[in-house]
Amino acid sequence: MFPVALVTSITVTGILTYLGVVVFVFLLILKQKNKVIEQYFFNFNQLHIAFLIYIFAFTLTKFINSGLKSGLNICFSSCQDYFVFLWVLFFVAKGYKNQKTINYAILTAAIISILYGMLQLFHLDIFHRQVNIERLSGFHKNPYSYGGQLIIFLFFLLSCCKDKFNNIPRLILFALCFICLLNTSERAVILGVILGAILYFSLERIKVNELPQIAFIFLVPIFLTYLLNSKVIKRIKRTILPASGDKQNIRLKLWGIAFAVWKRNMLFGAGNFPTVYREAVSGFPMKALTHAHNTYLQILVTNGIIGMLAFLNLFLCMIRILIANLKTSKYSACFLAILLSFFVEGFFEYFWGDSEVKYALLYFVGFAFGSLLESNTKECKI
């Protein structure tokens, strides 16, 4: 139950990942004649090639700008990213029964995560995982990590409701998920979800008679959040209409420093954050910050243009395949909305550096593409 471990303990998730690597390789050696493995592993296609380019580019740039040890660390880390995707892809692609198993696993993880978030909302944080009483953080002690995972759960639940907008339990679960997301008070996440939802409903062409249910699952959570935690609304309002006495957002300073550091070595990057930031600015005041609060600037600083191009190529490859198979998979529109949400959030947060978020995203990538293969192997092209 990888998704369940992911929302409750990143340590357990790491153990499962390494065990999964060993078992996967062992089975690969014993079952080389497996049809799924022969078709989708040995005959590399564009998505697998994009993953390999990503691994090579991140390893090369890290080796050049930070040395052998850092290069090996990022190599193992990026290979692990690829494995999480492969692990789920092969399992789901083998049959519809496996697809249902992963579906239930993600749903179970979503329910656990949402229910614990609701407990925190009413100050019943039984495992003491909430650092800021006004911002939900699930099991992660970090609203940003929790919000990133809720992006995936939100659109997954929306795809489950797509064919049954009259299913009250599913609509309520989605509404609760949206309440939790709003109460993380992560403005970048909320903005990403809004734009992702617009894309999703545009692609799915929602019927007029479904609009009341859609309005319910979005407007009621906003109203309840206003009643229970008005500070969230004020925080969002200050983003749109900042008061005259508000201090300059610290992100702007971080971005300026990141851009200046990147220019030192634009091709391969300048090294590890925050070391290079402290070298760039005397009296570095942001000791607690470990990234640039911007996915793209962070990758430019640490991996240069080569790393950035490889990263963008990976996600653009996913987008091309999803668009090409939009009519053949129920998760294509859902995952496109997720990618847009993360793309927008990436301008304000470094989601790729958060294991809880990255693994959840890659797990869902494997599920979405594995479902595509399983449901329409002859027509889809990955």
**Residue bearing the bigger pLDDT, 78 or 290:** 78
CA distance 50 to 309: 11
pLDDT score recorded for residue 362: 94
Computed over every residue of the chain, the mean pLDDT equals 82
**Residue bearing the bigger pLDDT, 11 or 277:** 11
pLDDT, tens only, 82-104: 989 988 888 887 778 888 899 99
Query: Which of 1, 3, 93 lies closest to 45, judged by CA?
Result: 93
pLDDT score recorded for residue 43: 41
pLDDT score recorded for residue 274: 58
Lowest mean pLDDT among 288-292, 356-360, 371-375: 288-292
For the cut 80, the answer to whether the pLDDT of residue 272 exceeds it is no
Give the mean pLDDT of 273-284. 56
For the cut 80, the answer to whether the pLDDT of residue 22 exceeds it is no
**Residue bearing the bigger pLDDT, 2 or 313:** 313
Determine what percent of the chain is predicted with pLDDT higher than 70.
81
What global pTM score does this model have? 0.89
Inter-residue contact 132 to 146 (CB < 8 Å) = no
Lowest mean pLDDT among 13-22, 299-308, 336-345: 13-22
For the cut 80, the answer to whether the pLDDT of residue 33 exceeds it is no
pLDDT score recorded for residue 283: 52
- Please, which pLDDT band fits residue 44 given cuts at 50, 70 and 90? very low
For the cut 90, the answer to whether the pLDDT of residue 328 exceeds it is no
Give the mean pLDDT of 272-297. 64
pLDDT score recorded for residue 239: 56
pLDDT score recorded for residue 356: 92
For the cut 60, the answer to whether the pLDDT of residue 282 exceeds it is no
Give the mean pLDDT of 188-202. 92
For the cut 50, the answer to whether the pLDDT of residue 333 exceeds it is yes
- Please, which pLDDT band fits residue 36 given cuts at 50, 70 and 90? low
pLDDT, tens only, 204-257: 877 767 777 778 888 888 888 888 777 777 776 665 555 555 555 677 778 888
